Amino acid sequence: MGGPTVGPPAGAHHAGPPATAATRKAQPLIEQEVTITTTDGEMPTWIYHPTHGGPSPVVLYLMDAPSIRPALKEMSMRLASAGYYVMLPYLFYRGGPFREFGVSDEDMHARRELMDQVNPTNILGDCQALLDHADADPAAADGKVGAVGFCMSGGLVISAARAMPDRVAAVASIHSAWLIRDGDDSPHRGLDAVDAEVYLGWPDNDPTAPPEDVPVMEQALKDAGVTYTLDFIEDALHGYAPPGGERYNRDASELHWERVHSLFRRHLR
């Protein structure tokens, strides 16, 4: 008794890929390190974007207090792989050339001094310089842009949206620090000028953004008519998003990814 026929039918040929298939050498995501001139100096910036399907919508990806490190570069690449032109600037450039920071007391002190040199006013010049660079790059799409900020930069992306309503269409503020503070430049003030949709990922255990600040921020957003989503995340600490650190919370981090992708699909496509 005959068994089933194994292999291709008689006359079949396997000389190569189907005629419609594209044959190409695998190419990694494009990564560039450039120096962008601002009114305050030379700002090292890492740029990531896909190898095909461009030009890609621009996203400003603003660092947290621990500064540029492999985890932030990996996050930038992850976002870029979804079809974005991601710009990761070294915001401490006013204090000297690029350096990576450790966890020593000396490094912590140095970072604190450098953080004081970045504020809601001078970040606007940095953002404009980044956008000017992107506008001259054929790989970057024209038009509306997004911004993501972590920790000290969570409020800075809101400041950018307030100052550039014609360009900034969507911002994500992740485990942000000091969103409510004295002064006219506080991120919760002047929100009437914001035309972007705003997402806030707010951990429930964060001394830089205590729970009592949540209703203040929400009321300011509502009074200004800003479209927003705020996740108040239980069992998450300040710094929950970047992988590799002791505060990393996988569930909370993946929630932020889901929210960011959803936000940008609505506004940057």
User: CB neighbours of 256 closer than 8 A, spacing ≥ 6?
Assistant: 172, 174, 201, 240, 241
User: CB neighbours of 80 closer than 8 A, spacing ≥ 6?
Assistant: 29, 48, 49, 50, 56, 86
Domain segments of the chain: what residues? 30-267
> pLDDT tens across 111-154, in order?
889 999 999 999 999 999 999 999 999 999 999 999 999 999 99
Q: Which CATH class is domain 30-267?
A: alpha beta
pTM of the model: 0.89
**Which residue, among 89, 111, 107, has the nearest Cα to 42 in the 3D structure?**
89
CA 131 to chain centre: 14
> pLDDT tens across 86-114, in order?
999 999 999 999 999 886 767 777 888 99
